[in-house]
Chains A and B, each alone.
Chain A
Amino acid sequence: MAITKDTVKYVAHLARIDLKPKELETLSQQLQDILDFIDKLKKVDIKEIAPTSHILPINNVLRDDLLAESLSSHKALENAPRREGNFFGVPKVIE
């Protein structure tokens, strides 16, 4: 399929990535090439084939609900670019 610059722009917005005009240009072309290549999957007969999202025959891994040590908020905040008290600092969300 053909991927337009508008589609790439929209997807970049969904992915929360700012693209410069030149990046948008290059990326659109490269993504087109990759999608053309990926399109060869259309040749495969997948009728009645179940999808594999996970390779191991395990599911619903549960564990006992035990009390264990966890990170203190102080430790969890150590890498934050901006802190406010005991919280991660972010730009104002509500005007």
Chain B
Amino acid sequence: MEELNKLTAHELIEKIGKKEATSEEILFSLYQRINKIDSKVKAYVRFDNTKELTNLRTYEPANFLKGLPVSIKDNICTQGYNTECCSKILEGFKPPYDATVIQKLKQKGATILAAKTNMDEFAFGSSTENSYYGPTHNPWDLDRVTGGSSGGSAAAVASDEAIMALGSDTGGSIRQPASFCGVVGLKPTYGRVSRYGLIAFASSLDQIGPITKDVRDSAILMNIISGYDSYDSTSINIDVPDYTKSLGMDINGVKIGIPKEYFIEGLDKEVKAILEESINKLRDLGANYKAVSLPHSEYAVPVYYIIATAEASSNLARFDGVQYGYRTEDRGQRTENGLISMYKKSRGEGFGQEAKRRIILGTFVLSHGYYDAYYLRALKVRTLIKQDFDNVFKEFDCIVTPTSPTPAFKIGEKIQDPLKMYLSDIYTISANLAGIPAISIPCGFTKKGLPVGLQILAKPFNEELLFRAAYTYEQNTPWHSMKPKI
């Protein structure tokens, strides 16, 4: 039998339509693949190959997706099935409700796998090494990281252990792993997709988005998950276009800005050369490009690590050993109030190192005496970063950059140096700060055979232009059809 798990969602939908395959056969081939290679890749957590094939489908797949499986990051709530953000502190948590995106997928006939994809604990990281379950391995080179924090979703899609997946992106957590794994990752405009049921990291930055094998699948998933939700007051009540209609439109005359601040020291030489070639390709396909300036780019990472940690320290206050998750066994010395002591011990034992680092940093920048110097200052510089983009978009349709300054690095290479790790998100963070949509698509390979990603950014709610440009590029290059040998 043909290896159905290797196909894209749109190819499989067509096959099911022609009665050349059934959703059961597709699920079976996917489970076979996971059983065979996930012990090496570790894209999934809590996958149980000793059990019967199970899934969380509750609707009849009469609809669009015809029962196709979608793999879900461990921070998106699935009713009755563990959602733990790959953290000890949420061990055993079974959400009493489905996230809005899960409801929407089910209504369109998706099968939700009874396993979640691996991630950095609470999405705190750029390599998926901060998972309570240990790192996911890059299918292109098992000694290397997948990127993060949605590393499990990206690796699963890249290694054909998933047909398509959802991730979340707060500072690049969809795009950077998509780039490292050679797949397509989209961070929608802030407000485009409901965050109801996404366990919050930084509420002014978080968005859920698709990770897929090609651009068409990305548009298909966006058609399903986008739209207003009264349960998320930050979702915007405007019409959702049919994103698949943007596919196949040419890019003649599209004006691309290339920010000069992104092509400086720190950018890997091979990545730079591949990017330049890709930009020339876009020009050959009809687009115009010109150098532009985003003058406050160098401040994006420091601004992000103030705002994101401040919001995280507040959001993660809810994990206190009372309502759900882990509670300390230690009754210990009653040197202080028993309740406070229980909070402190539960959180001290339940959170991993990066989570503690970020909560403490976030608490510090919000604390009395430091608020103005750090938090308020960061909010003001955020305004300047957003204005940089507004200015460029007055004249240009989109901006093209590398997704990450380097290809996938070695597991263990940066884990001891948080600052070095933070800098691997240097090109992705600005889109979250400015709230704009951005997509990463494969644009070539290094000599060692590692994928490189190209990032396209556009005005708020102009995902259509991203799809149009990304699809045109993809269909005229071979990169998206390449598969890792695993």
Q: Which A residues lie at the B interface, using CB under 8 A?
A: 3, 7-8, 11-20, 23, 27, 30-31, 33-34, 37-38, 40-42, 44, 46, 49-56, 58, 61, 63, 71, 75-76, 78-82, 88, 90-93
Q: A16-B344, A31-B361, A63-B230 are in contact. Are A49 and B380 (CB under 8 A)?
A: yes
18 pairs of residues in contact across A and B, judged by CB atoms under 8 Å: A11-B363, A12-B356, A16-B343, A17-B347, A17-B360, A34-B419, A37-B302, A38-B306, A41-B378, A44-B380, A46-B377, A50-B383, A56-B236, A56-B435, A63-B230, A71-B97, A81-B322, A91-B339
Question: For the complex, would chain A's binding face be called helix, strand, loop or mixed by DSSP majority?
Answer: loop
Tell me the chain B residues, 302-355 only, with Cβ under 8 Å from chain A.
302-303, 305-306, 313, 317, 320-327, 337-345, 347-349, 351, 353
**Complex CA–CA separation, A82 to B321 (angstroms):** 9
**Complex CA–CA separation, A86 to B226 (angstroms):** 38
A17 pairs with B344, CB closer than 8 A: yes
Selected from B190, B348, B360, the residue in CB contact (under 8 A) with A56 is: B190
Contacts of B254 in A (CB 8 A): none
B435 pairs with A51, CB closer than 8 A: no
**Complex CA–CA separation, A15 to B346 (angstroms):** 12
Contacts of B236 in A (CB 8 A): 56, 58
B367 pairs with A81, CB closer than 8 A: no
B96 pairs with A76, CB closer than 8 A: yes
Selected from B303, B386, B433, the residue in CB contact (under 8 A) with A41 is: B303
Tell me the chain B residues, 409-467 only, with Cβ under 8 Å from chain A.
418-419, 422, 433-435
Closest CB in chain B relative to A27 CB, distance in Å: 6
B302 pairs with A38, CB closer than 8 A: yes
Q: Residues of B within 8 Å of A, CB-based: how many?
A: 69
B364 pairs with A18, CB closer than 8 A: no
Selected from A49, A54, A78, A93, the residue in CB contact (under 8 A) with B339 is: A93
Q: Which B residues lie at the A interface, using CB under 8 A?
A: 92-94, 96-97, 190-191, 204, 230, 233-234, 236, 296, 298-299, 301-303, 305-306, 313, 317, 320-327, 337-345, 347-349, 351, 353, 356-357, 359-361, 363-364, 367, 374, 376-384, 386, 418-419, 422, 433-435
Question: For the complex, would chain B's binding face be called helix, strand, loop or mixed by DSSP majority?
Answer: helix
